[in-house]
Amino acid sequence: MRSKLKNSRLLIYSHDSFGLGHLRRCRTIAHALVDSYKGLSVLIMTGSPIIGRFDFKARVDFIRIPGIIKLHNGEYTSLGLHIDLADTLALRESIILNTSKVFKPDIFLVDKEPGGLQGEVISTLEYFKNTDTHCILGLRDIMDSPELLEKEWQVKKALPLLENFYDELWVYGPKQMGDPLKGLAIHQQVRDKTLYTGYLPRQLPEQIDLESIEFPDKPYILVTPGGGGDGIEMIDWVLRAYEACASLMPALFVLGPFMPNTERNLFMQRAEQLSHVKMITFSNHLEHLMASAEAVVAMGGYNTFCEILSFDKAALILPRSKPRQEQTIRARNAAKIGLLTMLDLSGERPVALMVDALEKLPTQAKPSAQSLQQLLGGLDSVTHRFGEIVEN
């Protein structure tokens, strides 16, 4: 049922220095909300260099702020501009603050980073403190191990931001899958304003020309490392299994737009020698490719996990454990309740182990064998709560 909420506005901040996760989560929320509220306009601010590759519904638009990437040594640098990092950060902060002043949102939704990248959102939070704008921090179901998150947030001085500037925290997962802030010295006032929404379900995009999507012959297994920047070891392990065993169910590999060129080209060359493997770099129709697949092999980031549940796919997860343990914790929790199987990507990665896992995958129990109703209520919860806030 659609409500008017006349002339309401939502501003979403997603720092997106690397990868696709934050952007895809924000896009999913934005689309669900404009579907429910026909008087709503949504503006997404992001540093993602590939936001223009995605389709957006009417009344959802974006501002691309200058990009920043994180180097292997942990330092940041400008992505496209040949200017100092400090100048790039100052430019980003100015764009965010001035956009916020002009757009005048009813709700300001910040994805994951309480202060934004390098604290660039703090000045905007301070500005909204004296306005009617409702500030919300959206968090994944799992952030990191408590020890690592505590150290990170101490450096970023994140806890005072939660206490003083955010009206609510939305956790995009069910409480039974874990507390993303476990182990932190969280005041009760923060606990009291925290909403566990459930996972954000995914639907197949409407009005898509299916003939424009290059589906492989069925049946097939979809292999995806998400953005691909940290998926080299995963792709190599799975591809070695296909090189060793010609009887495996055919696979479609989607490497991701951030896969380094050298490794991507080598993988493509290897795949060309295999009749039961098709490999592409990127598809903005990944939902359709997953929905048509018999099973999925993935690293287990938040968005991919939500899609696996939503499309009810047997899944083999190969989670990364560095620099964050988020994927490993989520995969272990999900494996314990029978939603998927997982293998340790940080070990020796023997070919025989992967061949065995891939042979069993098509007949593995699907997530629907478990009770999913309480897991996939995220968009309903977000939509309902959004309406409550704006209408009050």
The CA-CA-CA angle for residues 198, 202, 205, to 5°, reads: 155
Peptide bond into 205 cis (omega under 30): no
Model pTM score: 0.89
Q: Would the CATH topology of 8-200+377-391 be identical to that of 210-369?
A: yes
pLDDT of residue 232: 95
Which tokens belong to 371? 């009770």
- For 185, counting Cβ atoms within 10 Å of its Cβ (0-12 exposed, 13-18 middle, 19+ buried), the class is exposed
Which architecture, in CATH terms, is 8-200+377-391?
A: 3-Layer(aba) Sandwich (3.40)
The domain limits of the chain are: 8-200+377-391, 210-369
- Residues in Cβ contact with 124 at an 8 Å cutoff, skipping those fewer than 6 apart: 13, 96, 97, 100, 108, 116
| pLDDT single digits (tens) 27-38 | 999 999 999 999
Q: Where are the alpha helices (DSSP H) in the chain?
A: 21-36, 85-103, 122-128, 146-156, 158-164, 188-192, 232-244, 261-271, 286-292, 302-310, 326-336, 351-360, 378-391
Residue 129 phi/psi, 5° resolution?
Answer: -55, -30
Task: Point out the residues of the chain with pLDDT beneath 50.
Answer: 1
The domain 210-369 is placed in CATH, from the list 3.40.50.2000, 2.60.40.10, 2.60.120.680, 3.50.50.100, at 3.40.50.2000
pLDDT of residue 1: 43
Note the Cα 181 to chain centre separation in Å.
Answer: 18
**Any bridge partners for residue 10, and if so which?**
42, 107
CA–CA separation, 128 vs 108, rounded Å? 9
| pLDDT single digits (tens) 227-246 | 888 899 999 999 999 999 99
pLDDT of residue 292: 95
CA–CA separation, 145 vs 234, rounded Å? 22
